[in-house]
């Protein structure tokens, strides 16, 4: 009888442990919302997990989609880390109380211009807005690659331009904020309305236009130069990358901790890791070509330094604080949504 009792007790304990494990996430498992390319995100998650022993789940989304998800979950956050995507969206999240401040022990390796002074976000890479054109298409229509923002208004470009939608894409919002800072708000929105009349093809993701240009489905895209370099290296060697003579803007891709997310200690370890030279250099191993923010990190040879471009003095704080207003204005005044137009 004793043996049966002991065996029954052991079985009961084992079943209890099994059912408990099935009912909840393993302790210490981080959930990350990633704005990076899928291959870059996978490499980062695998390496972080291997080096720290902390298990990681991730979901890949565009930056605007990540912000919307964090807003929806603010009372019960599912993720702890926001990894990648333009920092102006992080700034909006900061103003809405959605991020947790953390000044990493590794922050001194990152120049001040690439990080939030209070630690709400820290830059991990930098990339510039570019014109990306299909060389074959340009030859067929007798055009040179666009040299200026005004070039995109030429009749030959009608129906052959693609860019992302700023409501979902950080790339597209960087473009919108660039034009407003470059030309002033009134002139920029007048330009955007004219550009819309060119039958622009809008996409959810900022990188998708590069692939459609490479396949010859459209002639020119407005997108980040490092995304275009990725497509070029993957075989779309009919791509031509150029930059507007009037000036262009750029992103600071960032990492931050989601307020109230589970496993905050592991989240801080992730930020510490993401700022290191070794972590930042992972992207080039899987074909990503951004400039890096860690002073000691070696960027890919193909990466285009901002110093070689005519970049505007992009006001990141202003862009973040005005993001919601400018996107709403673009939606109503350019798309005509909310004005009785389709």
Question: pLDDT tens digit string along 123-181?
Answer: 999 999 999 999 999 999 999 999 999 999 999 999 999 999 999 999 999 999 999 99
Q: For position 154, what pLDDT does the model report?
A: 96
Q: For position 29, what pLDDT does the model report?
A: 87
- In whole angstroms, how large is the CA radius of gyration of the chain? 23
Tokens, residue 269? 């370890």
3-state SS, residue 220: strand
- Residue 172, exposed/middle/buried by CB under 10 A (0-12, 13-18, 19+)? buried
Task: Identify the H or E element spanning 74.
Answer: none
- Whose tokens are 């791509």? That residue is 239
d(CA 281, CA 118): 25
d(CA 275, CA 123): 8
Cβ within 8 Å of residue 271, ≥6 positions away: 81, 102, 104, 122, 255, 256, 257
**Cβ(263)–Cβ(187) below 8 Å:** no
Q: Which residues pair with 126 in a beta bridge?
A: 252, 291
Q: For position 339, what pLDDT does the model report?
A: 63
3-state SS, residue 218: coil
Q: For position 338, what pLDDT does the model report?
A: 73
Task: Work out the mean pLDDT of the chain and round it to a whole number.
Answer: 91
d(CA 155, CA 239): 21
Q: For position 15, what pLDDT does the model report?
A: 34
What percent of the chain lies above the pLDDT cut of 70?
Answer: 91
Long-range contact set of residues 187-192: C-beta below 8 Å, sequence gap at least 24: 189/329, 189/330, 189/333, 189/334, 191/149, 191/153, 192/330, 192/333, 192/334
**For the chain, which domains are there?**
27-126+252-306 (3.40.190.10), 127-249+322-333 (3.40.190.10)
Q: For position 72, what pLDDT does the model report?
A: 98
3-state SS, residue 198: coil
pLDDT < 50 stretches in the chain: 1-25, 340-342
């Amino acid at each position: 009888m004793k043996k049966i009792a002991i065996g029954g007790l052991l079985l009961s304990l084992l079943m209890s442990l099994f059912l408990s494990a099935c009912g909840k996430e393993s302790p210490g498992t981080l959930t990350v919302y990633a704005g990076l390319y899928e291959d870059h995100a996978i490499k980062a998650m695998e390496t972080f997990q291997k080096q720290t022993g902390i298990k990681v789940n991730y979901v890949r989304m565009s930056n605007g989609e990540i912000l919307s998800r964090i807003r929806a979950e603010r009372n019960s956050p599912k993720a702890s880390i926001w990894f990648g995507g333009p920092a102006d969206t992080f700034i909006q999240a900061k103003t809405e109380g959605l991020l947790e401040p953390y000044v990493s022990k590794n922050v001194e390796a990152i120049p001040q211009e690439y990080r939030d002074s209070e630690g709400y976000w820290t830059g991990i890479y930098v990339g510039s807005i570019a014109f990306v054109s299909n060389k074959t298409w340009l030859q067929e229509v007798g055009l040179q690659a666009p040299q200026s923002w005004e070039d995109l208004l030429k009749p030959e470009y009608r129906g052959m331009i693609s860019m992302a939608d700023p409501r979902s894409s950080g790339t597209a919002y960087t473009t919108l904020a660039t034009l407003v800072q470059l030309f002033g708000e009134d002139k920029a929105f007048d330009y955007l309305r004219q550009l819309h009349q060119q039958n622009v093809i809008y996409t959810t993701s900022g990188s998708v236009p590069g692939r459609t240009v490479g396949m010859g489905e459209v002639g020119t895209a407005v997108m980040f130069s490092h995304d275009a370099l990725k497509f070029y290296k993957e075989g779309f060697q009919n791509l031509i990358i150029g930059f507007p003579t009037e000036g262009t803007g750029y992103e600071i891709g960032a990492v931050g901790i989601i307020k109230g997310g589970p496993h905050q200690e592991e989240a801080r370890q992730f930020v510490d890791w993401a700022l290191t030279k070794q972590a930042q250099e992972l992207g080039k191993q899987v074909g990503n070509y951004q400039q890096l923010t860690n002073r000691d990190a070696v960027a890919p040879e193909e990466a285009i330094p901002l110093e070689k471009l005519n970049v505007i003095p992009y006001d990141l704080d202003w862009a973040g604080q005005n993001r919601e207003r400018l996107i709403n204005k673009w939606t109503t005044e350019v798309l005509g949504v909310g004005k009785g137009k389709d």
